[in-house]
Amino acid sequence: MGALTLGCGNFGGIGSAPAFFGQGEDEREAFALMDAAWELGITSFDTADAYGGGRSERWIGRWLAENGRRPHVTTKVFHSVVGDPQDRGLSRDRILRQVEGSLERLGIERIDTYLIHEPDPETPLEETLDALRQLLEAGTVGAIGASNVDLAWLEEALAVAPITVVQNSYSLLDREPEREVLPFCGERGISFTAFGPLAGGWLCGKYRRGEPPPPGSRMTLRPEPYLHLDDAAVYDGLERFGDAAEQRGVDMPTLAFAWLLSDPRVAAVVAGPRRPEHLDPAVAALELPLTGAERDRLASLFPR
Protein backbone atom coordinates (compact mmCIF):
# COMPACT_ATOMS: atom_id res chain seq x y z
CA MET A 1 0.00 0.00 0.00
CA GLY A 2 0.99 3.60 -0.42
CA ALA A 3 2.35 5.85 2.30
CA LEU A 4 0.96 8.92 4.06
CA THR A 5 2.22 12.49 3.88
CA LEU A 6 1.16 15.30 6.19
CA GLY A 7 -0.34 18.11 4.15
CA CYS A 8 0.53 21.49 5.67
CA GLY A 9 -1.58 23.65 3.36
CA ASN A 10 -3.83 24.87 6.18
CA PHE A 11 -1.00 26.19 8.32
CA GLY A 12 -1.64 29.92 8.58
CA GLY A 13 -4.05 30.03 5.65
CA ILE A 14 -5.95 27.95 3.14
CA GLY A 15 -3.45 26.95 0.51
CA SER A 16 -1.92 29.78 -1.50
CA ALA A 17 -5.02 32.02 -1.51
CA PRO A 18 -4.00 35.50 -0.32
CA ALA A 19 -7.54 36.18 0.94
CA PHE A 20 -6.96 33.57 3.66
CA PHE A 21 -3.38 34.41 4.71
CA GLY A 22 -3.32 34.48 8.52
CA GLN A 23 -6.32 32.19 8.86
CA GLY A 24 -6.41 28.37 9.00
CA GLU A 25 -4.47 26.67 11.80
CA ASP A 26 -2.36 28.91 14.02
CA GLU A 27 1.20 28.02 14.97
CA ARG A 28 0.22 26.14 18.12
CA GLU A 29 -2.29 24.04 16.19
CA ALA A 30 0.24 23.43 13.42
CA PHE A 31 2.77 22.15 15.97
CA ALA A 32 0.12 19.83 17.44
CA LEU A 33 -0.58 18.42 13.99
CA MET A 34 3.09 17.84 13.25
CA ASP A 35 3.60 16.21 16.67
CA ALA A 36 0.63 13.91 16.10
CA ALA A 37 1.74 12.97 12.59
CA TRP A 38 5.26 12.14 13.72
CA GLU A 39 4.04 10.01 16.60
CA LEU A 40 1.83 8.10 14.16
CA GLY A 41 4.81 7.38 11.94
CA ILE A 42 4.07 9.99 9.28
CA THR A 43 7.53 11.33 8.49
CA SER A 44 6.87 13.16 5.23
CA PHE A 45 5.57 16.74 5.23
CA ASP A 46 4.16 18.57 2.20
CA THR A 47 4.03 22.36 1.92
CA ALA A 48 4.58 25.24 -0.53
CA ASP A 49 6.34 28.56 -0.27
CA ALA A 50 3.07 30.48 -0.59
CA TYR A 51 0.95 28.41 1.81
CA GLY A 52 -0.33 30.82 4.42
CA GLY A 53 1.88 33.55 2.98
CA GLY A 54 5.04 31.71 4.03
CA ARG A 55 3.69 30.75 7.45
CA SER A 56 3.52 27.04 6.64
CA GLU A 57 7.20 26.76 5.75
CA ARG A 58 8.21 29.03 8.63
CA TRP A 59 6.31 27.00 11.22
CA ILE A 60 7.63 23.72 9.86
CA GLY A 61 11.12 25.18 10.19
CA ARG A 62 10.52 26.20 13.80
CA TRP A 63 9.13 22.75 14.59
CA LEU A 64 12.19 21.09 13.05
CA ALA A 65 14.52 23.29 15.08
CA GLU A 66 12.66 22.80 18.36
CA ASN A 67 12.24 19.04 18.05
CA GLY A 68 15.43 18.03 16.29
CA ARG A 69 13.36 15.92 13.91
CA ARG A 70 13.87 15.77 10.17
CA PRO A 71 10.95 14.61 8.06
CA HIS A 72 11.11 14.33 4.29
CA VAL A 73 10.12 17.83 3.16
CA THR A 74 8.36 18.58 -0.12
CA THR A 75 7.71 22.19 -1.05
CA LYS A 76 6.54 23.96 -4.18
CA VAL A 77 7.01 27.12 -6.20
CA PHE A 78 4.73 29.24 -8.39
CA HIS A 79 2.48 31.52 -6.33
CA SER A 80 3.39 34.72 -4.53
CA VAL A 81 4.42 34.42 -0.89
CA VAL A 82 3.16 37.94 -0.21
CA GLY A 83 0.02 37.80 -2.32
CA ASP A 84 1.33 40.02 -5.13
CA PRO A 85 -0.41 38.97 -8.37
CA GLN A 86 2.61 40.23 -10.34
CA ASP A 87 5.02 38.03 -8.37
CA ARG A 88 4.32 34.54 -9.64
CA GLY A 89 5.47 32.03 -12.19
CA LEU A 90 8.40 29.82 -13.03
CA SER A 91 11.04 31.95 -14.68
CA ARG A 92 14.59 30.83 -14.00
CA ASP A 93 15.53 33.85 -11.89
CA ARG A 94 12.35 33.62 -9.85
CA ILE A 95 12.80 29.91 -9.07
CA LEU A 96 16.40 30.47 -7.94
CA ARG A 97 15.23 33.36 -5.76
CA GLN A 98 12.22 31.55 -4.32
CA VAL A 99 14.12 28.42 -3.37
CA GLU A 100 16.40 30.53 -1.18
CA GLY A 101 13.36 31.89 0.64
CA SER A 102 12.05 28.37 1.19
CA LEU A 103 15.39 27.15 2.54
CA GLU A 104 15.56 30.08 4.94
CA ARG A 105 12.01 29.66 6.24
CA LEU A 106 12.41 25.90 6.61
CA GLY A 107 15.82 26.27 8.22
CA ILE A 108 17.32 23.45 6.18
CA GLU A 109 20.20 23.20 3.72
CA ARG A 110 18.50 20.87 1.25
CA ILE A 111 14.89 20.45 0.14
CA ASP A 112 14.10 16.77 -0.34
CA THR A 113 11.54 17.22 -3.13
CA TYR A 114 10.92 20.46 -5.02
CA LEU A 115 7.83 20.76 -7.22
CA ILE A 116 6.40 23.35 -9.53
CA HIS A 117 2.95 24.08 -8.12
CA GLU A 118 1.39 24.35 -11.57
CA PRO A 119 2.58 24.98 -15.13
CA ASP A 120 3.50 28.50 -16.20
CA PRO A 121 2.31 29.23 -19.74
CA GLU A 122 4.24 32.52 -19.76
CA THR A 123 7.66 30.92 -19.28
CA PRO A 124 9.30 28.49 -21.72
CA LEU A 125 9.26 25.04 -20.16
CA GLU A 126 12.94 24.50 -20.91
CA GLU A 127 13.83 27.64 -18.91
CA THR A 128 11.90 26.33 -15.89
CA LEU A 129 13.43 22.88 -16.14
CA ASP A 130 16.94 24.24 -16.57
CA ALA A 131 16.52 26.05 -13.23
CA LEU A 132 15.22 22.91 -11.53
CA ARG A 133 18.03 20.84 -12.99
CA GLN A 134 20.56 23.38 -11.75
CA LEU A 135 19.18 23.05 -8.22
CA LEU A 136 19.28 19.28 -8.49
CA GLU A 137 22.86 19.19 -9.72
CA ALA A 138 23.96 21.62 -6.99
CA GLY A 139 22.41 19.41 -4.32
CA THR A 140 20.05 22.18 -3.24
CA VAL A 141 17.14 19.80 -3.83
CA GLY A 142 17.04 16.02 -3.78
CA ALA A 143 14.38 15.44 -6.42
CA ILE A 144 12.30 17.55 -8.79
CA GLY A 145 8.73 17.16 -9.92
CA ALA A 146 5.44 18.82 -10.67
CA SER A 147 1.93 19.29 -9.35
CA ASN A 148 -1.29 19.85 -11.28
CA VAL A 149 0.16 18.72 -14.61
CA ASP A 150 -1.23 16.76 -17.54
CA LEU A 151 0.28 14.15 -19.83
CA ALA A 152 1.37 16.63 -22.49
CA TRP A 153 3.37 18.63 -19.92
CA LEU A 154 4.98 15.47 -18.57
CA GLU A 155 6.01 14.15 -21.96
CA GLU A 156 7.63 17.44 -22.90
CA ALA A 157 9.31 17.86 -19.51
CA LEU A 158 10.81 14.38 -19.40
CA ALA A 159 12.63 15.06 -22.63
CA VAL A 160 14.79 17.65 -20.87
CA ALA A 161 14.79 16.98 -17.10
CA PRO A 162 14.54 14.04 -14.66
CA ILE A 163 11.03 14.57 -13.31
CA THR A 164 10.55 11.82 -10.72
CA VAL A 165 7.51 13.00 -8.72
CA VAL A 166 4.00 14.03 -9.76
CA GLN A 167 1.42 15.33 -7.30
CA ASN A 168 -2.12 15.65 -8.65
CA SER A 169 -5.63 15.66 -7.23
CA TYR A 170 -7.04 12.13 -7.10
CA SER A 171 -9.98 10.67 -5.21
CA LEU A 172 -13.18 8.72 -5.73
CA LEU A 173 -14.72 12.02 -6.80
CA ASP A 174 -11.81 13.10 -9.01
CA ARG A 175 -10.77 10.24 -11.27
CA GLU A 176 -9.09 12.37 -13.94
CA PRO A 177 -5.56 10.96 -13.32
CA GLU A 178 -6.76 7.50 -14.35
CA ARG A 179 -7.19 8.63 -17.94
CA GLU A 180 -3.56 9.40 -18.74
CA VAL A 181 -1.28 10.67 -15.96
CA LEU A 182 -1.52 7.77 -13.53
CA PRO A 183 -0.86 5.05 -16.14
CA PHE A 184 2.00 7.12 -17.57
CA CYS A 185 3.61 7.53 -14.16
CA GLY A 186 3.26 3.81 -13.54
CA GLU A 187 4.93 2.96 -16.84
CA ARG A 188 7.80 5.43 -16.35
CA GLY A 189 8.47 4.73 -12.67
CA ILE A 190 7.41 8.24 -11.64
CA SER A 191 6.24 8.51 -8.04
CA PHE A 192 2.58 9.59 -8.05
CA THR A 193 1.27 11.37 -4.95
CA ALA A 194 -2.46 12.00 -4.57
CA PHE A 195 -3.75 15.13 -2.89
CA GLY A 196 -7.38 15.96 -2.11
CA PRO A 197 -8.18 12.38 -0.99
CA LEU A 198 -11.47 13.45 0.63
CA ALA A 199 -12.49 15.91 -2.10
CA GLY A 200 -12.73 18.89 0.21
CA GLY A 201 -14.71 16.92 2.79
CA TRP A 202 -17.29 15.49 0.41
CA LEU A 203 -16.10 11.93 1.03
CA CYS A 204 -16.46 12.46 4.79
CA GLY A 205 -20.23 12.65 4.45
CA LYS A 206 -20.38 16.16 5.87
CA TYR A 207 -22.41 17.57 2.96
CA ARG A 208 -26.03 16.46 2.88
CA ARG A 209 -28.61 16.63 0.16
CA GLY A 210 -30.78 19.73 0.54
CA GLU A 211 -28.85 21.03 3.57
CA PRO A 212 -26.47 24.02 3.80
CA PRO A 213 -22.79 23.14 4.28
CA PRO A 214 -21.51 23.18 7.88
CA PRO A 215 -20.02 26.50 9.06
CA GLY A 216 -16.27 26.67 8.52
CA SER A 217 -16.27 23.84 5.98
CA ARG A 218 -14.42 24.07 2.69
CA MET A 219 -17.73 24.63 0.89
CA THR A 220 -18.27 27.81 2.91
CA LEU A 221 -14.69 29.09 2.65
CA ARG A 222 -13.43 28.11 -0.80
CA PRO A 223 -16.18 26.19 -2.62
CA GLU A 224 -15.23 26.85 -6.26
CA PRO A 225 -13.31 23.59 -6.91
CA TYR A 226 -16.20 21.52 -5.57
CA LEU A 227 -19.36 23.23 -6.80
CA HIS A 228 -19.84 20.59 -9.51
CA LEU A 229 -20.28 17.94 -6.79
CA ASP A 230 -23.56 19.48 -5.64
CA ASP A 231 -25.39 16.99 -7.82
CA ALA A 232 -28.07 14.36 -7.22
CA ALA A 233 -25.93 11.55 -8.65
CA VAL A 234 -23.08 12.45 -6.29
CA TYR A 235 -25.38 12.46 -3.27
CA ASP A 236 -26.71 9.06 -4.36
CA GLY A 237 -23.14 7.77 -4.57
CA LEU A 238 -22.24 9.16 -1.17
CA GLU A 239 -25.18 7.42 0.42
CA ARG A 240 -24.15 4.11 -1.12
CA PHE A 241 -20.54 4.75 -0.12
CA GLY A 242 -21.64 5.37 3.46
CA ASP A 243 -23.41 2.01 3.44
CA ALA A 244 -20.27 0.32 2.07
CA ALA A 245 -18.15 1.85 4.85
CA GLU A 246 -20.66 0.75 7.51
CA GLN A 247 -20.64 -2.79 6.16
CA ARG A 248 -16.85 -2.86 6.65
CA GLY A 249 -17.09 -1.37 10.14
CA VAL A 250 -15.22 1.81 9.24
CA ASP A 251 -16.11 5.43 8.58
CA MET A 252 -16.28 7.05 5.15
CA PRO A 253 -12.91 8.87 5.34
CA THR A 254 -11.12 5.63 6.22
CA LEU A 255 -12.61 3.85 3.23
CA ALA A 256 -11.81 6.78 0.94
CA PHE A 257 -8.17 6.71 2.02
CA ALA A 258 -8.04 2.92 1.70
CA TRP A 259 -9.32 3.16 -1.88
CA LEU A 260 -6.35 5.36 -2.78
CA LEU A 261 -3.73 3.60 -0.72
CA SER A 262 -4.66 0.23 -2.25
CA ASP A 263 -3.85 1.44 -5.76
CA PRO A 264 -0.34 0.10 -6.49
CA ARG A 265 0.32 3.07 -8.78
CA VAL A 266 -0.12 5.54 -5.89
CA ALA A 267 3.13 6.01 -3.98
CA ALA A 268 1.72 8.36 -1.34
CA VAL A 269 -1.43 10.20 -0.27
CA VAL A 270 -1.42 13.69 1.24
CA ALA A 271 -3.62 13.98 4.32
CA GLY A 272 -4.41 17.59 5.25
CA PRO A 273 -6.04 17.41 8.71
CA ARG A 274 -7.48 20.34 10.62
CA ARG A 275 -7.15 18.56 13.97
CA PRO A 276 -4.85 15.72 15.15
CA GLU A 277 -7.76 13.28 15.39
CA HIS A 278 -8.44 13.83 11.68
CA LEU A 279 -5.33 11.74 11.00
CA ASP A 280 -6.94 8.63 12.49
CA PRO A 281 -8.88 7.59 9.35
CA ALA A 282 -5.79 7.90 7.17
CA VAL A 283 -3.75 5.75 9.53
CA ALA A 284 -6.58 3.23 9.93
CA ALA A 285 -6.75 2.92 6.13
CA LEU A 286 -3.23 1.50 6.13
CA GLU A 287 -4.72 -1.60 7.76
CA LEU A 288 -7.59 -1.88 5.26
CA PRO A 289 -6.18 -3.24 1.99
CA LEU A 290 -8.67 -3.49 -0.86
CA THR A 291 -8.51 -5.81 -3.85
CA GLY A 292 -8.75 -4.46 -7.36
CA ALA A 293 -12.30 -5.79 -7.58
CA GLU A 294 -13.27 -4.03 -4.36
CA ARG A 295 -11.78 -0.78 -5.62
CA ASP A 296 -13.73 -1.11 -8.85
CA ARG A 297 -17.00 -1.71 -6.99
CA LEU A 298 -16.48 1.37 -4.83
CA ALA A 299 -15.58 3.50 -7.84
CA SER A 300 -18.76 2.35 -9.60
CA LEU A 301 -20.85 3.99 -6.89
CA PHE A 302 -20.04 7.44 -8.25
CA PRO A 303 -20.64 9.11 -11.63
CA ARG A 304 -17.63 9.37 -13.92
How many folded domains does the chain comprise? Answer: 1
What confidence category does residue 1 fall into, taking pLDDT thresholds of 50, 70 and 90? low
Catalytic residue among 51, 170, 207, 226: 51
pLDDT at 110: 98
Across the chain, mean pLDDT equals 96
Average pLDDT score over residue span 178-205: 97
User: Residue 199: inside a domain, yes or no?
Assistant: yes
- What's the confidence (pLDDT) of residue 216? 83
Residue 278: pLDDT over 80: yes
Find the domain containing 28 and state its range: 3-299
119-171 pLDDT per residue, tens: 999 999 999 999 999 999 999 999 999 999 999 999 999 999 999 999 999 99
**What one-letter code names the amino acid at 179?**
R
Does a structural domain hold residue 53? yes
Read off the amino acid at residue 100: E
pLDDT, one tens digit per residue, over 206-240 is 999 989 999 888 888 888 999 999 999 999 999 99
pLDDT score recorded for residue 222: 85
CATH classification at residue 190: 3.20.20.100
Average pLDDT over residues 100-118: 98
Say whether pLDDT at 263 is over 90.
yes
Establish if 264 belongs to a structural domain: yes
In a domain, 304, yes or no: no
258 falls within a domain: yes
- Out of 196-200, 211-215, 291-295, pick the least confident: 211-215
Is residue 170 among the annotated active site residues?
no
